[in-house]
A and B are shown apart, each in its own frame.
Chain A
Amino acid sequence: QKEVEQDPGPLSVPEGAIVSLNCTYSNSAFQYFMWYRQYSRKGPELLMYTYSSGNKEDGRFTAQVDKSSKYISLFIRDSQPSDSATYLCAMSEGATDSWGKLQFGAGTQVVVTP
């Protein structure tokens, strides 16, 4: 069983809809949670970063972490065609030298149709 599970999609939504993405994990030691966005033919880029449990909001993006359920979510409000990409969750047990052990989900492909 993988440490991090993520539905690969594709997830197709109409423009303006809310996109809801999630990952589950098995390692209770994970404390740092990230979402990366990857456009076609490009490398991933960091979108959101959260430490421990709670919510974090950045513009149209909201990241939630529920450590008791080992579940993290990313919500995209008022989705735009430019949000069409693959979204990867990633998590780590600690900072500094633990960055070398980031565990990634498989990524969810999102398509926002005009």
Chain B
Amino acid sequence: EAQVTQNPRYLITVTGKKLTVTCSQNMNHEYMSWYRQDPGLGLRQIYYSMNVEVTDKGDVPEGYKVSRKEKRNFPLILESPSPNQTSLYFCASSYLSSAGSTGELFFGEGSRLTVL
């Protein structure tokens, strides 16, 4: 089954304790991205990657790190989480094919993070 898998789905942590949210896709997609979703603000992009070893900042990258060592995996790292990073996080992936692609993003089921 084609899917984007995120873990953990739910996490409560404390300020300053490093954590990693994993994301894996089995569709051989070149493009992967992380979003956070907050009430009234919608989906905001944190980081994205066009291919292995290629990453770039989105709209709200502060306090986050990513890496893309393998095509299928794109972990999100919070080195020193703070309460304002409490949010619902989504990983997404897509093809970057030539003209004709709809650019459809395939999303994971989300990871709800609470930072106390």
- CB within 8 Å of B: which residues of A? 4, 6, 8, 32, 34, 36, 41-46, 49, 88, 92, 95-102, 104-107
Contacts and interface: CB of A to CB of B under 8 A. Distances in A.
A46 B102 contact: yes
Interface residues of B, number: 30
A36 B43 CA distance: 11
Contacts of A107: 42-43
A29 B104 CA distance: 19
**Dominant secondary structure of chain A at its interface with chain B:** mixed
Contacts of A4: 42
B43 to A, nearest CB: 4
Interface of B: 4, 31, 33, 35, 39-45, 48, 50, 56, 90, 92, 94, 96-99, 101-105, 107-110
Nearest to A92: B103
Given A6-B42, A107-B42, A100 B50 contact: yes
